[in-house]
Amino acid sequence: MAEQKVVMVHAMMMTCFADGAMTSQQIAIIESYAKALPEFTGRDFKNYYDAAKELASAAEGSVDRALRSLDRIESKSLKRKTYSCCVELAYAAGKLGPAAERVLHSMREIFGIDQEWASVVAEFTETKFAECGAA
What does the pLDDT look like over 51-72, one tens digit per residue?
999 998 898 878 888 899 999 9
Residue in 115, 124, 125 with CA at minimum distance from that of residue 15: 125
Q: What's the pLDDT band for 135 if we cut at 50, 70, 90? A: low
pLDDT in tens, 36-47: 999 998 899 999
What would the mean pLDDT of 14-36 be, rounded to a whole number? 84
Kindly report which listed range (12-21, 31-40, 50-59) carries the lowest average pLDDT score. Answer: 12-21
Q: How far apart are CA 91 and CA 84, in angstroms?
A: 11
Residue 115 confidence (pLDDT): 95
Q: Domain map of the chain by residue range?
A: 2-129
Residue 29 has a pLDDT of: 87
Cβ neighbors of 35 (< 8 A, separation 6 or more) are 41, 45
CATH 1.10.3680 fits 2-129, yes or no: yes
Cα gap 98→125, rounded to integer Å: 17
Query: Which residues have a Cβ under 8 Å from the Cβ of 92 and sit 6 or more positions away?
Result: 29, 33, 129
Q: Per-residue pLDDT tens for 73-128?
A: 999 999 999 999 999 998 887 778 888 899 999 999 999 999 999 999 999 999 98
pTM above 0.85, yes or no: yes
Three-state SS across 69-122? HHHHCCCHHHHHHHHHHHHHHHHHCCCCCHHHHHHHHHHHHHHCCCHHHHHHHH
